Amino acid sequence: MFIVTGGAGFIGSAMIWKLNSLGVDRILVVDNLASTEKWKNLVNLRFEDYIHKDQFLKLIAKGDDPFKTQAVIHMGACSSTTETDADYLMENNYRYTQMLCRFVLGSDIRFLNASSAATYGDGSLGFLDDHARTPALRPLNMYGYSKHIFDLWALKAEILDRIVSLKFFNVFGPNEYHKGEMKSVVCKAHAQIRETGRMRLFKSHHPDYPDGGQLRDFVWIKDCVDIMAWFLEHPEANGIFNVGTGIARTWNDLAAAVFAAMNRDPRVEYVSMPEEIREKYQYFTRADMGKLRAAGYVAPLTPLKDAVADYVGNYLEKADPYLKA
């Protein structure tokens, strides 16, 4: 059995899509659907069963493995960078991950965990996924810290040679539609352009960056799940790894790609960044991908323009924009 936590979420459901494409159907989806629209991400996919995340935790807390688990792909977390309930983030993102990790230790179960580029903070220490640099990182928000503290625990417990913790950069693609304000700018821009003919970007409040000139490493969801599938096939590769492209592009570049995919002339409106996030805003991110390449991952990563064209043309412009098995 492959267990995918957060299996109805964005990256989790995309990973189920990838497993289905590889002929894997024995999948247990662990999530908390509540009253969200996440359930729609599962409709076109194949899996064996679904269980609520709290019930799943009770089962594994007994120390048994009733699922005959081959791998735990832990994508379940609160991914809101604006969440302010620190206790909730510590329990949901850190403690839950720690308990899952203990469940697989001492067995042959593969463990893939979703960390985040938010752990790098303002980027002043760079974006190198080197274990020795991990303790020095200072995330800018509680979400980033809740991911960072697990990496610190795994480092201190000396288990990074047995698990994989993946620092995802700015991921975009189908099945993110339920995420509200946490949807990618590509997804939000498509809706804005269809409705108004223009899209909005934040003004810069940093003298080194013009409006729309803030730089991010935007990574296509299909590249992310290809990398995750590679780790499942290569149990010798373990530790903390970046998942990005290694290329920083401006928000203006992203806007141009969306307009081009929609066959429209660019019309961008720059709006003031909310005061509450100005001090926590990352103006530059770029994944150092050398460690993943050195581990043996050789597949090319999709250029931004091509990825946006795929997303817009094959998903956002369709009546049923979800990934299909």
pLDDT at 302 over 90: yes
- CATH code assigned at 159: 3.40.50.720
For 125, other C-beta atoms within 10 Å of its C-beta total 12
For 168, other C-beta atoms within 10 Å of its C-beta total 23
pLDDT at 63 over 90: no
CA-to-CA distance for 143 and 121, rounded, in angstroms? 11
Determine the pLDDT at residue 247.
Answer: 98
Q: Which residues carry out catalysis?
A: 143, 179
Determine the pLDDT at residue 245.
Answer: 98
Q: What is the pLDDT of residues 187-242, one digit of tens each?
A: 999 999 999 999 999 999 999 999 999 999 999 999 999 999 999 999 999 999 99
Residue 256 lies in a domain: no
Residue 210 lies in a domain: no
SS3 50: strand
pLDDT at 118 over 90: yes
Confidence band for 64, pLDDT divided at 50, 70 and 90: confident
Cα R_g (the chain), whole angstroms: 19
For 260, other C-beta atoms within 10 Å of its C-beta total 15
| DSSP 8-state secondary structure symbol assigned to residue 203 | P
Q: Are 305 and 257 within 8 A, CB to CB?
A: yes
Residue 269 lies in a domain: no
pLDDT at 66 over 90: no
Determine the pLDDT at residue 186.
Answer: 98
Mean pLDDT over each residue of the chain, to the nearest integer: 96
CA-to-CA distance for 218 and 298, rounded, in angstroms? 19
Determine the pLDDT at residue 307.
Answer: 98
Q: What is the pLDDT of residues 261-294, one digit of tens each?
A: 999 999 999 999 999 888 888 899 999 999 999 9
Give the helix/strand (H/E) hosting 202. strand 199-202
Residue 119 lies in a domain: yes
Q: Note the helical H segments in the chain.
A: 10-21, 53-61, 86-89, 96-104, 142-156, 185-196, 221-233, 251-261, 275-278, 290-295, 304-311
Q: Residue holding tokens 């999530």?
A: 31
Residue 167 lies in a domain: yes
Residue 159 lies in a domain: yes
Q: What is the pLDDT of residues 158-175, one digit of tens each?
A: 999 999 999 999 999 999
Residue 107 lies in a domain: yes
Query: How many domains does one find in the chain?
Result: 1
Q: Considering only 64-68, 179-183, 195-199, 246-250, which range has the smallest mean pLDDT?
A: 64-68
pLDDT at 80 over 90: no
- Structural domain including 151 reads 2-172+219-246+285-301
SS3 323: coil
Residue 322 lies in a domain: no
pTM: 0.96
Measuring CA to CA, which residue among 319, 311, 202 is closest to residue 258?
311
Encoded tokens for 247: 């290329």
